[in-house]
Amino acid sequence: MKRLVSLTIILLTIFSNINLFAYETNISVRNLYILEGDIDTFPITVYLTIEKDTKKVYGKYYYNKNGNFLYLENGILGNENNVLLKETITENGNKKTTAFLNSTIKNNLEFSGKWKDAKLSTVLNFTTKPSDDSIIQFIQTKIKKIETNNFNILSQLPQIYNPQKIAGIDIINKKLLELDTFDEDYKKLPLYNTYQNSNETEISKMYASYNTYSLQYIDNKIISLKNNYFEYSGDTPRGNTIITPLVYDLETGDLLNKKTDDLFYRIDDSGLIELMREKLIKDADGSSEIYIDFENIRLNNNFYVSKTGINFVFNQYEIAPYVKGTTILKFTYDELKPFVKRTSKFWYLFD
């Protein structure tokens, strides 16, 4: 009888724990479309995202002439495939509304309508659609997340739509799947489980991780992504963010930003170092004092490609204390051109 009671207690404990840890994973899907067209007579490139379940629409675009992103926000796709988007920019840390786009999105993904400046004094026609010449028309991202009082994890899984069965793109998609953090972060759930069904939300009892991606640049040769991973474990007074740029060769699937030696003739070129130091000092309000070992800082292989140039990322603690945060140094193609190898896979961007 005692054995039966003991066995019953053990089984109840096991099933109780299984239910305790079995939190529902919410899965959603969004598509990011690469579109080209014009506002009036000015050529633009648009990265437009549509969430399948919520019908939310947002994204960013740039005028091909200058390459600087303008952001599109607050759109909801209506029953007639109509959507009103707000255009914004951020200057000196302040977000500013610059225009509104009253538009429709047709089944062939033609995104068109009226562009109106913020004062509604200027109205221009715009039309964009997927480029006939582009080998990539959209990227589908599966988003997995768990949200409770004290435990929140989110992981994005981007996959490039590849109807042409290009081998390099298949390789990239496989590599991106291998970067998924969801299952590994989910294993940390039992450590925070005690507080899930309580009203306690003490910050020391919380865990959060967010693994996200953003498209920075794409053409028929490369795709440039920025991976942002944030984690807060409650064991430290602050969270930690790690940015990992990923620049892939679409033909071979190779990761291209593995070594700065593949980009520059010499990473220790005095002219390149001087240019870098000028940008570091400007980024720190005119002083080099905040940097750790300033004289020995060199550009790293943590860089991504944009329409306007190449941007180098120094993560928290890498070259400065936490208070400095992430440092991103932005170089135009003209600035870096004298130091770039003519044999580099990136040379066509400079030529």
Taking phi over 0 as left and psi of -120 to 50 as alpha, with beta for the rest, 182 belongs to alpha
Which residues are bridge partners to 145 per DSSP? 26, 154
Given the DSSP bridges, would you call strands 151-160 and 26-39 parallel, antiparallel or unpaired?
unpaired
pLDDT value of position 19: 41
Q: Using alpha carbons, select from 105, 101, 185, 114 the residue that is nearest to residue 151.
A: 185
Q: Are residues 102 and 176 in the same domain?
A: no
The pair of structure tokens assigned to 34 is 């690469």
Residue type, 337: K
Taking CA 229 as the corner, what is the angle to CA 227 and CA 233, rounded to the nearest 5 degrees?
A: 175
Taking CA 174 as the corner, what is the angle to CA 173 and CA 176, rounded to the nearest 5 degrees?
A: 65
Q: Are residues 151 and 107 in the same domain?
A: no
Helices of type H across the chain:
2-21, 167-178, 182-186, 189-192, 270-283, 333-336, 347-350
Examine residue 18 and state whether it is found in any structural domain, yes or no. no
End-to-end CA distance of the chain: 84
Work out the number of other CB atoms within 10 angstroms of the CB of residue 115: 20
pLDDT value of position 65: 94
For the chain, what is the domain count?
3
Which CATH number fits the domain that encloses residue 202? 3.30.565.40
pLDDT value of position 151: 87
Which CATH number fits the domain that encloses residue 310? 3.90.640.20
The CA-atom distances, in angstroms, between 326 and each of 140, 258, 318 are 28, 20, 9
The pair of structure tokens assigned to 158 is 């981007």
Coil, strand or helix at 277: helix
Q: Are residues 163 and 112 in the same domain?
A: no
Contact 207, 192 (CB under 8 A): yes
Q: Are residues 188 and 277 in the same domain?
A: no
Q: How far apart are CA 128 and CA 124, in angstroms?
A: 13
pLDDT value of position 62: 98
Q: How far apart are CA 71 and CA 83, in angstroms?
A: 15
Examine residue 277 and state whether it is found in any structural domain, yes or no. yes
Q: Are residues 38 and 74 in the same domain?
A: yes
Full pLDDT tens readout for the chain, 351 residues? 545 445 444 444 444 444 444 578 899 999 999 999 999 999 999 999 999 999 999 999 999 999 999 999 999 999 999 999 999 999 888 999 999 999 999 988 999 999 999 998 999 999 999 998 899 999 999 999 998 878 899 999 999 999 999 999 999 999 999 999 999 998 887 776 554 444 555 555 788 999 999 999 999 999 999 999 999 887 666 889 999 999 999 999 999 999 999 999 999 999 999 999 999 999 999 999 999 999 999 999 999 999 999 999 999 999 999 999 999 999 999 999 999 999 999 999 998
Q: Are residues 153 and 236 in the same domain?
A: yes
Given the DSSP bridges, would you call strands 222-232 and 56-63 parallel, antiparallel or unpaired?
unpaired
Task: Identify the domain containing residue 340 by its residue range.
Answer: 260-350
Place of tokens 């892939």: 248
CA 119 to chain centre: 31
The pTM for the full model equals 0.88
